[in-house]
Amino acid sequence: MIEINNLSKFYSDQFGNKIQLFKNISFTIEDAQITTIIAPVGSGKTSLLKILSGLEKPSEGSVDLKSDNTIIFLSSEPSSYPWLSVKENILFGLKKYDEAKINELINVVGLEGYGEHFPNNKSIGFRFRIALARSLAHNPECICIDEPFNKMDLQTKSEVYLLIRKISFEQKTTFLFTTTNLTEAIFLSDQIYLMGKEPASVFESIKIDLDAVRDLSIINTDKFKEYITQVETHFKKIDAKKILFKTI
Amino acid sequence: MPKELNHKIMMKSKVTFVLVLLFTYIILFEFILPFNKVLPKPSLLYESFLYIWKDYDLLSALAITSTVIYLAIILAYLVVYVSAGIIIKFALEYPDAIEKLKVFRYFPAFFIAILFSYWFGDSLIAEFVFAFLTSFALILFHLISEIKNHNPVYADTASNLGLNKYSICSKVIFKDIQPNHFNGLIRIHYYLWILVMIYEFINNIGGFGGVYKTALIYRDFVGLFSVALVISILILFGSIVINYIKEKLFFWE
């Protein structure tokens, strides 16, 4: 479990004015679950994930981990190295590794037979799978993924949604996502946190009580639609116009 | 558009351009303006092409100049390659120092060529040292100027995966900018050809620069033009080889 306590972030604009990006953000990420933060554009989602993974420092507050394992951050841009093969990418940064485990990870993310291939000129989905396998190889406390589906086509998105649900369920991996897309948030998540804007803070949490193993047909169920309405209603209350009410 | 197709179209248009230029030259200077003070007759050029190799000892000149240039570039590139991690780390940690060093970019290399020739005279080793130092400085400055084009996502990922700063600089940032950096060698090698020939011209060393000086003394217009043609072909060949190495080794651009 990861506890985020009263995180705040300030930055200075070009005139030297101190601006608060988000304030007093507190929430919990449960083990082996998928947690998603839905927030408007410009509310500091990327900064929040970078703080959780240690790439940025918070102005105030703390992130409490119960183990020494790292929190891996995956950017919205492809982060697999194009000069390394799929296998070399997965091994990148590992001090010791088990060959059988690496091969298993290649299979888990659906890249069997592509171990010696290079990711340059490959699709976003292919490169995302490599980054996912590399993250899993580090046995992380949590994988934080920043709006990963923005540039993916419909087919790839659907495949990756199912893959992430499968990995979370079978490998007991903890994920934290940020998104502006309600449908993908509800489909993927076990827990959702809603964030407002200027300065952003978490104003609502919703437990998603859907089957652990899901397929895309769940989107058309009444229960799923109820969750969509519930989230929309919360955002309408705070007048967040930039949330995208998309379907997959 | 696929990269290979784009490359083919570019090559085709280059070949077409050269052929049109050749055709225009032959028509204009063989038939319309055979006697002029601009360019020699193509037939005269063709006839003189064989004798200039013997008269000017062009084979030896070719060996001297091209060995000095390409050996200097290879050595300078290897030195920068080996120390790239330290260079990039220094450039990122001390950007102000790098900004101050950039003042040397405005220092004309021709002036260094003249200084070197006065200090060391007509020594072939001095010519090589000059070529090496010049290419090292050019490759180094090109590397520093490319650092700003690296993808910060790659560096963040490496940092997140626990790599130290030196490893991030050498294993990630350098690798990321390496295709563009290597691309710069084409431009650097054009520049080095000019500088080395100036050096040889000043010191009358037996390279192409020395050949040029002799041809100028004897006012051998056809010889000058023929040597220019040989040099152009060599530079073109050098560019093709550099490009080929880049395509094979740094394919991830």
Q: Which residue of B has its CA nearest to A122?
A: B252
Q: Are residues B56 and B132 in the same domain?
A: yes
**By CB neighbour count within 10 A (0-12 exposed, 13-18 middle, 19+ buried), where does A83 fall?**
buried
Chain B residue closest to A93 (CA)? B161
**3-class secondary-structure state, position A9:** strand
Residue of B nearest to A132 (CA): B157
Please tell me the predicted confidence (pLDDT) of residue A78. Answer: 87
Tens digit of each residue's pLDDT (9 = 90 or more) over B111-121:
877 888 788 87
Cβ contact, residue pair A55, B153, below 8 Å: no
**Which CATH number covers residue B180?**
1.10.3720.10
DSSP-derived 3-state class of residue A44: coil
User: Among partner residues A75, A92, A138, which is closest to B156 by beta-carbon distance?
Assistant: A75
The reply to whether B7 and B77 lie within a common domain is no
Rg (CA), chain B: 22
Domain range for residue B14? 1-39
Mean pLDDT, chain B, integer: 88
Parts of chain A with a pLDDT under 50: none
Average pLDDT on B61-78 reads 95
Say which of B163, B176, B250 has its CB closest to residue A93.
B163
Q: Tell me, yes or no, if A77 comes closer than 8 A to chain B by beta carbon.
A: yes
| Interchain pair A55, B162: CB under 8 A | no
Note whether B225 and B134 are same-domain residues: yes
pLDDT tens-place string over residues B11-23: 788 888 888 988 9
Per-residue pLDDT of A61-108, as tens digits, reads 888 887 778 899 999 888 999 999 999 999 999 988 888 999 999 999
| Annotated domain spans of chain A | 1-67+142-155+174-248
B58-82 helix and B124-147 helix, angle to the nearest 10 degrees: 40
pLDDT for res B131: 92
B193-206 pLDDT tens trace:
999 998 898 888 88
State the amino acid at position A62 in one-letter form: S
pLDDT of the residue at B170? 95
Contact B162 A92 (CB under 8 A): no
- How many other CB atoms are found less than 10 A from the CB of residue A190? 18
pLDDT for position A245? 54
Closest Cα in chain A to B163: A93
> pLDDT tens digits for B71-116?
999 999 999 999 999 999 999 999 888 778 777 777 777 787 788 8
Question: Percentage of chain B surpassing pLDDT 90?
Answer: 47
Instruction: Assess whether B7 and B49 both reside in one domain.
Output: no
The answer to whether B242 and B189 have CB atoms below 8 angstroms apart is yes
User: Could you tell me whether strands A71-74 and A34-38 are parallel, antiparallel, or unpaired per DSSP bridges?
Assistant: unpaired
Q: Which residues of B make CB contacts under 8 Å with A?
A: 151, 153-154, 156-163, 172, 175-176, 178, 250-252
| Band of residue B221 on the pLDDT scale cut at 50, 70, 90 | confident
- Residue pair B29/B42 in contact (Cβ under 8 Å)? The answer is yes
> Is 70 exceeded by the pLDDT of residue B146?
yes
CB contact under 8 A, B153 and A77: yes
| Inter-residue long-range contacts of B102-107, CB under 8 Å, 24+ positions, other chains counted | B102/B141, B104/B137, B104/B141, B105/B141
pLDDT for the residue numbered B176: 95
Query: Which of A52, A57, A79 should one mutate to test binding to chain B, selecting the residue with the greatest count of B CBs within 10 A?
Result: A79
Percent of chain B with pLDDT over 70: 98
Q: Does residue B199 share a domain with residue B95?
A: yes
pLDDT band, very low/low/confident/very high, at B153 (cuts 50, 70, 90) = very high
Q: Regarding the domain delimited by A1-67+142-155+174-248, which CATH topology (the fold level of the hierarchy) does it fall under? A: Rossmann fold (3.40.50)
Nearest-neighbour CA in chain B from A35: distance (Å): 20
pLDDT at residue A242, as a whole number: 57
Hey, are the CB atoms on B161 and A93 less than 8 Å from each other?
yes
Over residues B165-181, the pLDDT tens digits come to 999 999 999 999 999 99
Residues B82 and B34 in one domain: no
Q: For position A233, what pLDDT does the model report?
A: 86
Q: Are residues B86 and B182 in the same domain?
A: yes
Q: What is the pLDDT of residue B1?
A: 58
Indicate the residue of B156, B250, B251 with minimum beta-carbon distance to A55. B156
Q: Which value does ipTM take for this structure?
A: 0.87
Which of helix, strand or coil describes residue B105? Answer: helix
Q: Give the pLDDT of residue A192.
A: 93
> Is B160–A70 a contact, with Cβ atoms under 8 angstroms apart?
yes
Which residue from B minimizes the CA distance to A136? B161
